Structure 1
Amino acid sequence: ERFLQSQMPKGCDKSDLKLWKNSMHRDFTVNSLFFDPVNFKIYDYNNAMKDLLDLKLRTLVPAHLSFTEDCARILRGLRIAARLGLSFSKDIEAAIHRQASSLLN
């Protein structure tokens, strides 16, 4: 799979490319954070820190697409929101209402 350099967020250089690509495969923005303990640096390519400060849970792609790909993400989202005291984005809320029955299959 190819990512275009134009898709990379500002502040992300070629040395960060591997981390950025990895972050783009996460289910929720809060799961896309990386921490470098040697340099004491946080890598946040998807505005996850803002989401944490805003107490919001967001998906990296439209929630209905993410949940269609893997309906277990609905359960992970519920668990993360409960543990961290986060509320769902409107996108996640709507997708859960539409797709919750897929958990029964």
Structure 2
Amino acid sequence: SKQTIAAISEITFRQCDVFAKDLEMFARHAKRSTINIEDVKLLARRSSSLQRYINQKSEELVLNNQEKKEKRKKKNGTGKGRRTSDEQVGPAMAESEDSNMA
């Protein structure tokens, strides 16, 4: 019925509000202003199925981020025999530092 749907919706929105406040408090307790994945994992600790799901998604995010970093490294050419900016500046920088020391 419409009343049942309205009641379930109201409870769902209230629970989401509680979750949001809890996440904010977890981050604040850790002296952070940003909520991170560890806060979300802490929130899900009472529901084993939700905790498993969040852990799985967290691992997927870590893997995706690692893949993106590797692709960026390859795209920037650090693996193609090009010199990095550190290598290009390195020897000249050492000479100028030595001359300034004298």
Normalising by structure 1, we get a TM-score of 0.27
Please identify which structure carries the higher helix content.
Answer: 2
Choose 1 or 2 for highest CA Rg. Answer: 2
Normalising by structure 2, we get a TM-score of 0.27
Please identify which structure carries the higher strand content.
Answer: 1
Greater relative CO, 1 or 2 (CA 8 Å, sep 6+): 1
